Amino acid sequence: MSSFILDYFNYRIVAQYLDRFAEGLGNTLIATGVSFALSFVLGTIMAVIMFTQWKVLRNLIQAYVTFIRSTPLLVQIYLVYFGLPVLLPFTAKWPEMWLGIAALVINCTPYMSEIIRTGIGSVPRGQVEAAKAVGMSYGQRLIHIVLPQAFANVIPPVLGQTAVLIKDTSLLSLITVFEFTSAGLLLNSERVRPNESFLTIAAGYLAIYCVMLFLSHHVKKKLAGPAWAAKG
């Protein structure tokens, strides 16, 4: 039995590459964290603009969202990797990781925007009117009434989008970013062991998702109030 397991999945070979998997995992988490933070902030700004009277900006945002949704992420990564240094020459000196993060942010921001826009739309109109009645400015209503409730309402879809973002980082290996998938590809190229390579990659992403699911459940209980806590 032990011989069969080693023939199918030789964990001893994987152990020899643990340092490379750890390096790749670190880069994956960095790319995910930075991309999530930037896309969440930019997505919030875009979502707020969609509720304003600025028709030109709203049309531009809608066109941007449509373009991102209708084109593959891989194409977007290549467009950023090869095209951004042409449009903005100073980015030619950026490392591949920065360009990869830029591509992920460009891709993820429209999805975050649509999620947050839905959350803003779910805030009861009566609460906004009540805030107006007590003399709160637009900015005060946004910061103290609308956005806190909107963010609480969109925790589940934001979690889903973050899970997609984590998996999307694997495509950065195609522009020579050494992330978690790259570590598995390195193992396979040097030892020609596809089982050890790709099963380890799959197990790693599954572990990341399980940790994220646990943390999101904890955050949901803390931020979403007693109603959601009861559902959990």
Crossing angle of helices 194-223 and 180-191, in 10° steps, is 170
**179-207: per-residue pLDDT in tens?**
889 888 888 888 877 888 888 899 988 88
Question: Given a cut of 80, is residue 104 above it in pLDDT?
Answer: yes
How far, in Å, CA of 59 to CA of 61, rounded? 5
Q: Which of 6, 16, 10, 14 is nearest to 204 (CA)?
A: 14
> Residue 194 maps to which CATH number?
1.10.3720.10
How far, in Å, CA of 29 to CA of 153, rounded? 25
Domain total for the chain? 1
pLDDT-derived band at 31, boundaries 50, 70, 90: very high
pTM of this prediction?
0.85
Question: Given a cut of 70, is residue 103 above it in pLDDT?
Answer: yes
Contact 198, 101 (CB under 8 A): no
For 83-193, where are the alpha helices, taking DSSP H only? 84-87, 96-121, 125-133, 138-141, 147-153, 155-168, 180-191
Percent of the chain at pLDDT exceeding 70: 90
Question: Within 10 Å of residue 220's Cβ, how many Cβ atoms?
Answer: 18
Question: Given a cut of 60, is residue 225 above it in pLDDT?
Answer: no
Question: What's the domain range around 42?
Answer: 1-226
pLDDT-derived band at 36, boundaries 50, 70, 90: very high
Q: Is residue 92 part of a domain?
A: yes
Q: What is the mean pLDDT of the chain?
A: 84
pLDDT-derived band at 228, boundaries 50, 70, 90: very low
Radius of gyration of the chain (CA): 21
How far, in Å, CA of 200 to CA of 97, rounded? 23
Contact 205, 180 (CB under 8 A): yes
Q: Is residue 206 part of a domain?
A: yes
Q: Is residue 231 part of a domain?
A: no
Q: Is residue 232 part of a domain?
A: no
Provide mean pLDDT across the span 82-101.
91
